[in-house]
Amino acid sequence: MQSMLALGLLLLLSIHAEMALAAEDGQFAYQGFATANLTLDGLAGVTPNGLLLLTNTETLGKGHAFHPAPLRFLQTSTSSTAMARSFSTSFVFAITSNYDGLTSYGIAFVVAPTLNHSASSGEQYLGLLNTINGTASDPILAVELDTIMNVELHDIDSNHLGIDVNSLISRQASPSGYYNNENGAFQELRLNSRRPMQVWVDYDAQSSRLNVTLAPVQVPKPRNPLLSEVIDLSTVMADTMYIGFSASRGYGLGMRHYVLGWSFSMDGATPLLDISKLPTLPCMGPQSRSKMLDVVLPLVAALLVIAVLAMIFFFFLWRRRQFTKVQEDWEDEFSPHRFAYKDIFYATEGFSSRNLLGVGGFGRVYKGVLSASNLEVAVKRVSHDSKQGLREFIAEVVSIGRLRHRNLAQLLGYCHRKGELLLVYDYMENGSLDKYLYNGNKPTLQWSERYRIIKGVASGLLYLHEEWDQTVIHRDIKASNVLLDNQLNGWLGDFGLARLYDHVTVAKTTHVVGTMGYLAPEVIRTGKATPLTDVFSFGVFLLEVACGRRPISISKDVTQIVLVNWVLERHRKGSILDAVDPRLMGNFNIEEVTLVLKLGLLCSYPSSSARPSMRKIVQYLDHGQSVPDLSPTYMSYNTLAMM
């Protein structure tokens, strides 16, 4: 009798547990998160107006937000085999920043077997895993919305969506955007545009197909998904899994990751989100014009058109002739080197993805072969979704087109056709220097090769700063912008951010551009670039080449490591040689390595007035002169940032 009662009690408890789990297997919709019962950790929190904030602007790290109860993702079929269930979800997100052009890491929708992600890493790992690949015992499915291009993770660009299964190397990825329902045309979207966007993730268990769709919040769900992948989730999922979001924030200025609304449904379509009920985002970045100004300006313009219609007609005729002349003036000097578009198109096989060499901050680079001369070339296709692209294109043509130096990438010609902005260079068969420093598949560069590359880049910078007709400030010196020819000689390239000044003129630009980790403190503070800000970047570059480490990295305990600080600490302890790239295995010239490391610290001095000129740097490198000892007042980069 007692055994019968115990069996009945056990059966009752089992039924109760199944019913509790089934209640969580339904659907939900959050129009804001003010009253949502989510499990949060790390940097994640909910703002007073109901925004789910995964990262903040002050702290480096990661944040997670999960639905608190597990959901059953597998069901037992008639053959007693576990089958994955269909599901669909939709969420509205936004990635915001205080500054244009600077970004941090992205955000991911996650299906995971646990709520504990304390062991996962931030930055490029998005708070999902602590290595590139996960384990079969802890399966993870994620849809990443990434705003950083990481070569280690095989990212296609710095603005993409990807499907990740137990790995941060996406099974499938695509540039961010959507397909227009009217004409099927692809419309690009910038994930860090500060504007809310909606994502749909739909899994059909019958066809084992996972679809991912993206669109602005004002646009209905596109018929054609951005990503579509066949995945049998029954081999990936555990019986019960948790769903939620993960994001990480690296060395970006004023970055935040928001989720405005979220809906989910198992075995059916996800509930529609009412966009009008979602919480509003805080204002970030440049302030928009007042509505009064938007109303007054069209009225004034209309009155002027009516009052002086005849004068405007003649003005536009004159202006059109003048503009045509001005527009072509900068091209006159380079007209013998202007390529026909069809020649470049055929050389790159129609800009085929097979010929893609890499993606930079302002465009894609393709390998090509000019049929007329059988010459291998690299073709840079400049991004031109705004006037910024045209300005960078003209800057590069005007600067590189007249520069002649053995260590500066040679511009062979260009093509300017309507919206197409193309630059043609000598092809460097060994690619960029960063691949040899960080890609384990590349052979290790010997110290003599590294030292020759350093001296070559220094010589090129001296030419830019002092030996040409004007002062050229490069503004983006880093390993990925140093190209290697077949003899492993270093060539400084990518002049898309370069600015030219007379030697007696002071630079007046105040727009912060460049790459975080290489930016001098005064650039971040004032936005003003000078030859000494190039010297700072070159100093970080010296340490990067000697140490084989990135300017900013993350340790095993998820602590940020600034390379300048890391080398400075070893110098102060009298063990600066401990900073040398271990892959050299001690095979280096001690005097040269010590010179490069100390010179790197001197060039990256926080105070610009204490940095040497490029002429003095070249003298140090050519003649092996001893670098002066650092001042005891040398502050670390972190100390300076805190001040």
Q: Is residue 382 predicted with pLDDT exceeding 80? A: no
One-letter identity of residue 570 = R
Asked if 429 and 486 count as a contact pair (C-beta separation under 8 A), the reply is yes
Average pLDDT of span 27-36: 92
- How many CB atoms within 10 Å of residue 458? 25
Distance in angstroms (rounded) separating the CA atoms of residues 247 and 53: 10
Q: Is residue 12 predicted with pLDDT exceeding 90? A: no
pLDDT digits (tens, 9 = 90+) for 214-272: 999 999 999 999 999 999 998 888 889 999 999 887 655 567 899 999 999 999 899 99
Mean pLDDT computed over every residue of the chain: 81
Q: Is residue 502 predicted with pLDDT exceeding 60? A: no
Average pLDDT of span 296-323: 70
**Topology (CATH) of 333-426:** Phosphorylase Kinase; domain 1 (3.30.200)
CA angle 587, 590, 594 (to 5 degrees): 125
Q: Is residue 351 predicted with pLDDT exceeding 50? A: yes
pLDDT digits (tens, 9 = 90+) for 569-591: 999 898 999 999 999 999 999 99
One-letter identity of residue 279 = P
One-letter identity of residue 345 = F
Query: Which CATH code for domain 433-642?
Result: 1.10.510.10
| Per-residue confidence (pLDDT) for residue 250, from 0 to 100 | 63
Q: Who's near 244: CB < 8 A, 6+ residues apart? A: 38, 39, 64, 65, 66, 67, 109, 110, 112
Residue 468: pLDDT band with limits 50, 70, 90: confident
Q: Is residue 501 predicted with pLDDT exceeding 90? A: no
User: Pick the residue with more confidence: 185 or 493?
Assistant: 185
Catalytic: 155?
no
Half-sphere exposure of 15 (CA within 13 A, CB side): 6
One-letter identity of residue 497 = L
- Domain ranges (residues) in the chain: 27-277, 291-322, 333-426, 433-642
* Catalytically annotated residue among 202, 476, 534, 581: 476
3-state DSSP of 627-638: CCCCCCCCCCHH
Distance in angstroms (rounded) separating the CA atoms of residues 167 and 131: 8
Average pLDDT of span 113-141: 80
- In this structure, of 82-86, 451-455, 536-540, the range with the lowest mean pLDDT score is 82-86
Strands 499-501 and 471-473 turn out to be antiparallel
Which tokens is 104 given?
A: 């941090």
- In this structure, of 7-16, 120-129, 255-264, 410-419, the range with the lowest mean pLDDT score is 7-16
Class of domain 27-277 as given by CATH? mainly beta
Asked if 497 and 474 count as a contact pair (C-beta separation under 8 A), the reply is yes
Residue 496: pLDDT band with limits 50, 70, 90: low
